[in-house]
Amino acid sequence: MDLRSRPRRNRKNAAIRALVRETRLDPSHWIYPLFVHEESTDAPIASMPGCSRWSLAGLVDEVGRARDDGIGAVVLFPAIVDAKKSPEGVEAVNPDGLVPRAIAAIKKAYPEMQVVTDVALDPYSSDGHDGILAPDGRILNDPTVEVLCRQAVMQARAGADVIAPSDMMDGRVAAIRTALDAERFTEVSILAYTAKYASAFYGPFRGALDSAPKSGDKKTYQMDAANVREALREVEHDEAEGADMLMVKPAGAYLDVIAAVREHTALPIAAYQVSGEYLMLKAASEAGWLDERAVVLESLTAIHRAGADIILTYFARQAAQWLAT
């Protein structure tokens, strides 16, 4: 046996392993998802232990703590009261609504914090869909895009740094880019949810926002979990339409998609470690079956290793604190 080549020499101690490590975690590459509601107090989310629906004051405080942990970007998701929901999602374009007030509060307290905003109608829709629902059950693409453009401009006007359309309507990236530029928001970036799959991993998130569809499902606009070539087609569209960054969602069960997208574009790639992934790791760890720190850091490493430059994760603050110790 020829043992002149011994790969184990590069694994013999912690210092050598650190020298040759190919993938390194850094909180500056993470976006911290935060839920906000109209209430004056913060409310823990039962389906997502460790997460809360924040009041505006609580949101600002949590953003400050995230900044202190080395996180430079947050993404906002609003829990809208039923009385403000409608079939057309008109609250989505309200300049005095919850999201623009949250953006303004964060930017006033922490101007350097990058605020990413979700563009879609599902939090605001009485139907629970990302777009406008026709009487026959179809999601109306072009009328939805018109509303999304107004929503994006309103959020940019409130101070958003990055607009993140999560709706999966065709042509919305080009339309939003045109709308932003027409209003002189040329410096506002677009992080497109490019390959957003119709996944079963979103359940806890929909519970947190009460945004599940009231009828039907989202399979006519979100992607089929069986497809990867289709994701590359979406990449080509969003890149040509002016996206600055592209996202794959979910992350953990779609590492092959992240890798394929990474090979297909030079744009930065984001991946969203979604609520179902978060809950699985949390629940198993709280039950004593897994070492939470070890499995969370391993999962984040795997997502980065697959090709993601940016990770959206509810573990952002915890993981940053673990890396600092």
Any idea which fold 27-324 has? TIM Barrel (3.20.20)
Report yes or no: 33 and 205 within 8 Å, Cβ to Cβ: no
> Given this model, what pLDDT does residue 207 score?
81
Q: What is the pLDDT of residues 76-100, one digit of tens each?
A: 999 999 999 999 999 999 999 999 9
Average pLDDT over residues 136-154: 96
* pLDDT level of residue 1 (50, 70, 90 thresholds): low
> Given this model, what pLDDT does residue 223 score?
97
Q: Higher-confidence residue: 178 or 205?
A: 178
Average pLDDT over residues 255-276: 98
Q: What is the pLDDT of residues 231-248, one digit of tens each?
A: 999 999 999 999 999 999
Largest CA distance in the chain: 75
Distance, in Å, from the CA atom of 89 to the CA atom of 53, rounded to the nearest integer, reads 21
| Annotated domain spans of the chain | 27-324
* pLDDT level of residue 213 (50, 70, 90 thresholds): confident
Distance, in Å, from the CA atom of 71 to the CA atom of 118, rounded to the nearest integer, reads 18
Name residue 52's beta-bridge partners. Answer: 44
Percent of the chain with pLDDT over 70: 100
Would you please indicate which residues are annotated as catalytic (active-site) residues? 196, 249
Residue with tokens 């007030």: 101
Both structure tokens of 70: 């080395």
Alpha helices, DSSP H only, in 159-314?
172-182, 203-209, 229-241, 255-264, 275-286, 292-306
pTM for the whole structure:
0.96
